[in-house]
Amino acid sequence: MFGRLTWEAIPLTEPIPLITSLVVILAIGAAVVWVTVKGWWPYLWNEYITSTDHKRIGIMYFVLGLVMLIRGFADAIMMRAQQMFAVGASQGYLPPEHYNQIFTAHGTIMIFFVAMPLVISFMNFVVPLQLGVRDVAFPTMNNVSFWLTASGVLLTNLSLFIGEYARTGWLGFPPLSEQQFSPGVGVDYYLVALQIAGVGTVLTAVNFVTTILKTRAPGMSYLRMPVFCWTTLAANLLILAAFPVLTATYAMLMLDRYLGFHFFTNDGGGNSMLYMNLIWVWGHPEVYILILPAFGIYSEVVSTFSGKPLFGYRSMVFATLAICIISFCVWLHHFFTMGAGADVNAIFGIASMIIAVPTGVKIFNWLFTMYGGRVRFNVPMYWTIGFMLTFVIGGLTGVLLAMPPVDFLVHNSLFLIAHFHQVIIGGVVFAIMAGYTYWFPKAFGFTLDERLGKAIFWCWFIGFHLAFMPLYVLGFWGGTRRLQHIADPTWQPWLDVAFVGALLIGLGIVLTVVQLLYSIKTRDRRLDTTGDPWDGRTLEWLTLSPPPHFNFAVLPDVHGEEAYWTRKQTALREEKLIEEPDYKAIEMPVNTPTGVIVAFFASLCGFALIWYIWWLAIVGLVGAFAVLVWYAWRDEHEHIIPADEVAQLERERRRIRKEQIQTWPRPA
Amino acid sequence: MRRGAALIVLPLSACNRGVLDPVGPVGAAEKTILINSTAIMLAIIIPTMIATVAVAWWFRAGNKKATYRPDWEYSGAIEMVVWGIPALTVLLLGGIAWIGSHDLDPYKPLPSKSPPIEVQVVSLDWKWLFIYPDQGIATVNQLVVPAGTPVHFSLTSATVWNVFFVPQMGTMIYTMPRMTTQLNLQADRQGTFDGLSAHFSGDGFPGMNFKVHSVPPQQFAAWAAAARSGPQLDVATYDELQKPSSYVKPLVYGSVDPRLFEAIVANRLPPPISPKTTPAAQHVSPQPPAGHLNVR
Amino acid sequence: MTGVETPAVGLTHGASEDTGLGHRGPESKSIVVPYGFWLFVLSDMVLFSALFATYATLAHATDGGPASNELFDRTLVAIETIALLLSSFVCGLAMIAARRRNLIWTQIWLLVTGLLGAVFLGIELYEFAMMIGEGAGPQRSAFLSAFFTLVGCHGAHVTAGLLWIGTMMAQFWAKGFQPHIMRRMMCLSIFWHALDIIWVAIFTIVYLMGTLP
């Protein structure tokens, strides 16, 4: 009746998961009670949960990613603490079977449920605004994508309370991840949750590629799109081309585990090297899926806060597309030590180094954007400069790892760990923080507190270096990754420093939450009354903050690069606005519960598969299909916003802009 | 206070250990490539980092002396340089990568006057078995090699993937079940070096450390001869050895079935059903040997 | 091109130059929806490529068990191929009938498409059952795992397609030829033809190449 699910699945004998579970359940319970008492459910349901508005969906992705950052970081600080304590004679406080789950969960959550959702949150919020359109191409599917990702988050976190998580590392290499060596539910939790979330991600890619290629404001040719839209396009093309490989690979591992197939097993002719190849064919493009939008964010921030157009726009576009394509040709550098031979290793090594060329071009072009500019050191610029200093070292260590003879010394070592954290934290996380600060006023109508913002930056910047520089050293000393216990006591001081660094990063995360709460409380001091607090250059700054549901009363006509900047400069010079348009009624997609209900059934099916409750799995599948058919049966897809309402909102915007014309300086 | 002093001295002491202190030609060549590549890249990275800070500072909004060029967004000359510098660097490093990959191919035998010592390596859960087919002996978690003599390794795994790695000797390589990889290394210096597995392989993974003893060739021969008095490694003993255990103290076997390695590779001696493979015992972790302090 | 002159930005609406594709503003739904669906189909083809790559790698990993030239019956495969190709043609007829808003013929051709698809599936399931009965099931060897998964994944897509055809027939009956129903028919059409393309690849790589003398 309940498959292999028994009461023993609840970790009553293990204090850490038990206490964590109780705390989390209490916290969620308290939140639910509070929301109910305040009567916020209708608001949450109508304005967010069932919303098809890309801005709202973007905010939901961001909240999801931020909450998971706390979980992923908790795993990280536990790992640092364990490595600090478990040196020499001591075994630390985490036995191997527990530690191994923690590092697996840390990697999986950080990549799939922190970095991806946070990057996707910006794509969602910003791209339609920058393209000058009202929403993405498929708003309902956008909602479904979000909730499927949330389903993956739910299942992954359930493993803390019921059962256990995988103990294989975040990529689940066989044969270790096969039934023979991992007989419990852990790997199944890992696989099922990621398969469900993966569907959501592929649908997001379909959405954004279509939106960018087929729906842009009139006059916005490809070479007039903001660079963030180019990088979003490239990242989503990568998702389209790479994620199906992940889906196929996980499906094969699931078939091995569930039905006794022999894709990667030690017997029956299985080939575990095949998994290594397939998973990295996905895995390498994945990191470019994360970094390309990050590069886009930096491009926007640097040009805005330097008061200059981005230097070498076409070069940047070409570099983006070059990175996009080459990222598919380098996957073998993750396993040079598998013994594929000198020719193969050398070719992939050289290809991996070639990718450093367009990346280097980008760094120089950002430098030359600042050159001749008037650089304003707001918080987003702190993150950007911090990135430019941190990421290039990460690139250096990356090119070192791309050199097979060097990789033979540092593959899988703490040197590798330091490298990829350097590029992901220095590259992706810093961009997320920059983008968060930069676009927050657009989303909520007030800016975040600057002093706290700078404090957060320094915590991360110093904390990152303290936490990871020692790991480069330990990597050279022969330190490998994923060690629950350290044999050599002379590593102690380095591990201590690394722990302090992690604590500092933790402080940065705490301060981020503090900054948010404080900024909300004192928002009246920092209201964004004009919708353009940073003297922006792209179309999202045309609207007020937050933008109306339909974004633009009339889709803007685009006449050159930097659509908003040229329009703003013309208005300031001519001292008048563009002529008042003929206001028409606007059709916007209706809200829908399809996403959250499909995700409910997907979670049910997923949970059932994990615990071998076959009848429930079928119920989940049938339920999901039924919801889709029910959705397909609806007759009303849009609701109308009357022309008067549009006119009223647009006239308010024009009034504010007219005031700005009187007060802002004339262009040179 | 001591910790503070250590923090200052630390960076200096970082340089002469592990892969930065190679004991043989393979490790030495790899270290050279590592140092040279780093230097070449630092020559570009450091000026870039300085320029980043300098440009950002000079062109700060409050600096009236800086020329504001609000429309300057393209320069062909700069583009050429900006594409050229990384391209040339990568060209150079790419050449090093091609030559280095071929020179340091793990499968490539090392030039030497002495014939290589053969060692067959099997990674088990969670210890290392080293078989010396020519000497007819075997060891667990202990590798003895004659200094100055190339060692040719044939490697496999009995269970899951591992990586055989002796940092000071250089190149590491995967061990994979039902497959054989090969590695050629040499220790010119005498001494004791650390060895480990560099690919996570399960709960007992951190206990897979071993020592490598590089001794004069005559001492090696003497050691091998003395080892022959040890117990036999046959199918029964091997079956016992295969059972999951970790932090295993070094063992020596005086005789080895010559077909053992081949049988392991052909999967004719699969591991027994371990306690780990029965659902009821999902949380069994191997206990470190008695006397090993255990803080839970 | 050093420096950029501020372009002449008009202050009137509708003044953007129509400089070609995509510059007129967002495309209509009848273009956007099938385009998005094509992208999805392309991603599905990437999934199949991963399965093809796996099949190619494991084609000889028979673990002493049966190999491809002992297992496949070319006659059966020929019949299922004809059924599927024919169903694609008939699906095209259904699309034409739908454009002409002819409910009867739309339903008839959709039904025939579905029936031919069911014939294809039936033969495939029969083939699978025979192989499993002979001890050549997917658990026997890596080659067989790869075969069953590649061919089975295609079969699963065909099954999903049959469910979709049934739903489509119900929707035409209940709602007629409204624009969103027609767009879905277009997507179903794309899906069904794409499955045909994949089958041609499977037929060639698995069955033809696998039974070479």
* A 33-92: CB under 8 A from B: 85-86, 89-92
Q: Could you give the number of structural domains in chain A?
A: 2
Tell me if A166 is assigned to some domain: yes
Of B281 and C125, the structure prediction assigns the larger pLDDT to C125
Å from C146 to nearest chain A CA?
A: 7
CA distance B45 to chain A (A): 7
DSSP state at residue B16: G
Of A91, A361, A371, the CB nearest to B83: A361
Strands in A501-573 per DSSP E = none
Range of the domain at A117: 40-592+634-663
Residues A505 and A534 in one domain: yes
Cβ-contact B185, B150 below 8 angstroms: yes
- The contacts found for C122-128 with CB under 8 angstroms, 24 or more apart, are C123/C76, C123/C79, C123/C80, C123/C83, C124/C80, C124/C151, C124/C155, C125/C155, C126/C76, C127/C73, C127/C76, C127/C77, C128/C152
Q: Of the candidates C42, C51, C138, which has its C-beta nearest A259's C-beta?
A: C138
Sign of the torsion angle spanned by Cα atoms A564, A565, A567, A572: positive
Query: Which H or E run includes A461?
Result: helix A450-476
Max Cα-Cα span within chain C: 78
β-sheet bridge partners, residue A231: none
| Subunit partners of chain A (3 or more CB pairs within 8 A) | B, C
Instruction: Count CB neighbours of A622 within 10 A.
Output: 12
Measure B213 CA to nearest chain A CA, in Å: 17
Q: Which residues pair with A383 in a beta bridge?
A: none
DSSP string, B45-91: HHHHHHHHHHHHHHTBTT-TTSPP-TT----HHHHHHHHHHHHHHHH
Is A614 contained in some domain? no
State whether C4 and B75 contact (CB < 8 Å).
no
Average pLDDT, integer, range C170-192: 96
Which is nearest to A256 in space by CA: A200, A176, A169, A194? A176
Say whether the peptide bond before residue B250 is cis (omega within 30 degrees of 0): no
Q: Say if residue A516's pLDDT is above 70.
A: yes
Q: Is residue A388 part of a domain?
A: yes
Whether B82 has its CB under 8 Å from any CB of chain A: the answer is: yes
Write down the pLDDT at residue B273: 56
Residue C46 is nearest to which of A219, A241, A269, comparing CB atoms? A241
A489 touches chain B (CB under 8 A): no
* Rounded Cα gap, residues A79 and A99, in angstroms: 7
Residues A16 and A142 in one domain: no
Residue A523 and residue A415 share a domain: yes
Active site residues of A: 61, 71, 75, 79, 103, 124, 135, 142, 145, 149, 201, 204, 211, 284, 286, 288, 299, 315, 359, 362, 419-421
The minimum CA-CA distance between B40 and chain C, rounded to whole Å, is 33
- Shared domain for A15 and A48, answered yes or no, is no
> Mean of the pLDDT values across residues C28-32?
94
Q: Rounded to whole angstroms, how far apart are CA atoms A341 and B173?
A: 12
In a domain? residue A629: no
Q: Is the pLDDT of residue C46 over 90?
A: yes
Instruction: Kindly state whether residues A21 and A100 are assigned to the same domain.
Output: no
Do A169 and A236 have their domain in common?
yes
C15/A559 CB distance under 8 A: yes
A55: closest CA among A540, A654, A557? Answer: A540
Q: Which residue of A has its CA nearest to C29?
A: A137
Put simply, the answer to whether A566 touches C9 (Cβ < 8 Å) is yes
Q: How far apart are CA C143 and CA C150, in angstroms?
A: 11
Report pLDDT for C12: 52
Q: Which residues 6+ apart lie within 8 Å of B11 measured at CB?
A: A473
Angstrom distances, CA of residue A480 to CA of A144, B192, B196, B198: 41, 19, 8, 5
What is the residue-wise DSSP string for B76-145?
HHHHHHHHHHHHHHHHHHHHHHHHHHHHT-TTSPPP-SSPPEEEEEEEETTEEEEEETTTTEEEESEEEE
- C1/B contact by beta carbon, under 8 A: yes
Task: Tell whether A46 is covered by a domain.
Answer: yes
- Give the pLDDT mean for A579-594: 95
Tell whether A168 is covered by a domain. yes
pLDDT at B13: 57
Write the single-letter amino acid at C58: L
Is there a single domain that holds both residue A277 and residue A144?
yes
CA–CA gap between residue A355 and residue A351 (Å, rounded)? 7
Residue A605 forms part of a structural domain: no
Q: Which residues of A touch C33 (CB under 8 A)?
A: 138
The tokens for C190 are 């794309």
Name the residue facing B161 among A272, A369, A668 (closest C-beta).
Answer: A272
Distances (CA, A) of C44 to A33, C39, C41, C47: 43, 9, 5, 5
The mean pLDDT of chain A is 96
| Closest approach of C166 to chain A, Cα-based (Å) | 11
Distance from CA of B272 to the nearest CA of A (A): 11
C64 Cβ under 8 Å from any chain B Cβ: no
Secondary structure element (H or E) that encloses residue A631, with its range = helix A614-632
Task: Name the 3-class secondary structure at A478.
Answer: coil
Token pair listed for A189 = 């939790």
Condensed to tens digits (0 to 9), the pLDDT of residues A436-476 reads 999 999 999 999 999 999 999 999 999 999 999 999 999 99
C194: Cβ contacts below 8 Å, ≥ 6 apart:
C41, C44, C45
* Closest CB from C4, C13, C17 relative to A554: C13
Asked whether the beta carbons of A530 and A656 are under 8 A apart, the reply is yes
- In the prediction, which pLDDT does A665 show? 78
Q: What percent of chain A has pLDDT over 70?
A: 100
- Contacts with B, A 248-287, CB within 8 Å: 266-267, 272-273
Residues 2-31 of C with CB under 8 A from B: 2-4
Of A262, A281, A557, the CB nearest to C14: A557
Residues in chain B: 296
Co-location of A26 and A145 in the same domain: no
| Any domain includes A668 | no
Cβ-based contacts of A371 with chain B (< 8 Å): 55, 59, 72
A127 within 8 A of A39, measured Cβ to Cβ: no
A161/B contact by beta carbon, under 8 A: no
Q: What is the pLDDT of residue B294?
A: 29
- Chain C within 8 Å of A220 (Cβ-Cβ)? yes
Confidence of residue B284 (pLDDT cuts 50, 70, 90): very low
pLDDT 10s digits, A602-647: 999 999 999 999 999 999 999 999 999 999 999 889 999 999 999 9
Q: Do B71 and C3 touch (CB under 8 A)?
A: yes
What digits encode the pLDDT tens for the residues A543-562?
A: 999 999 999 999 999 988 89
pLDDT digits (tens, 9 = 90+) for A398-438: 999 999 999 999 999 999 999 999 999 999 999 999 999 99
Compute the Cα dihedral for B62, B65, B69, B72 and give only its sign.
Answer: negative
Which residues of chain A make contact with C36, given a CB cutoff of 8 A? 137-138, 206-207, 209-210
Residue numbers in A near C175 (CB within 8 A): 635
How far apart CA B206 and CA A562 sit, in angstroms, is: 55
A311 touches chain B (CB under 8 A): yes
> Is-contact B286 B245, C-beta < 8 A?
yes
- Cα–Cα distance between B186 and B149 in angstroms, integer? 6
Instruction: Pick the residue of B172, B184, B268, B296 with the most A CBs within 10 A to test the interface with A by mutation.
Output: B172
- CA–CA distance, B243 with A649 (Å, rounded to integer): 74
Which of B27, B93, B285 is the closest to A403 by Cβ?
A: B93
- B11: pLDDT strictly greater than 60: no
Backbone angles phi, psi at B215, to 5 degrees: -125, 160
A33 and A51 assigned to the same domain: no
Phi, psi (deg, nearest 5) at residue A466: -65, -40
Residues of C in contact with B72 (CB under 8 A): 2-3
- Tell me how far apart the alpha carbons of residues A362 and A350 are, in angstroms, rounded to a whole number: 20
8-state DSSP, A308: S
A451 and A436 both lie in a single domain:
yes
Q: What is the pLDDT of residues A270-323, one digit of tens each?
A: 999 999 999 999 999 999 999 999 999 999 999 999 999 999 999 999 999 999
Q: What's the CA gap between A187 and A256, in Å, rounded?
A: 12
- Statement to judge: residues A28 and A137 lie in one domain: no
Same domain? A16 vs A160 = no
Report the C-alpha gap between A168 and A186 in whole angstroms.
Answer: 9
- Any chains having at least 3 CB pairs less than 8 A from chain C are A, B
Terminal CA-CA length for chain C: 65
Residue B293 has pLDDT above 60, yes or no: no
pTM of the model: 0.95
Kindly identify which residue of chain B lies nearest to residue A174, measuring between CA atoms. B160
CA of A563: which chain C residue's CA is closest? C9
| Strand blocks (E) in B177-250 | 181-186, 191-197, 210-215, 232-233
* Angstrom distances, CA of residue A34 to CA of A23, A150, A527, B117: 16, 21, 27, 72
A32: closest CA of chain B, how far (Å): 34
Query: Which amino acid, A398?
Result: G
Going by C-beta distance under 8 Å and a sequence separation of 6 or more, which residues neighbour residue B4? none
Query: A574: domain CATH number?
Result: 1.20.210.10
Answer yes or no: is pLDDT of B278 > 80: no
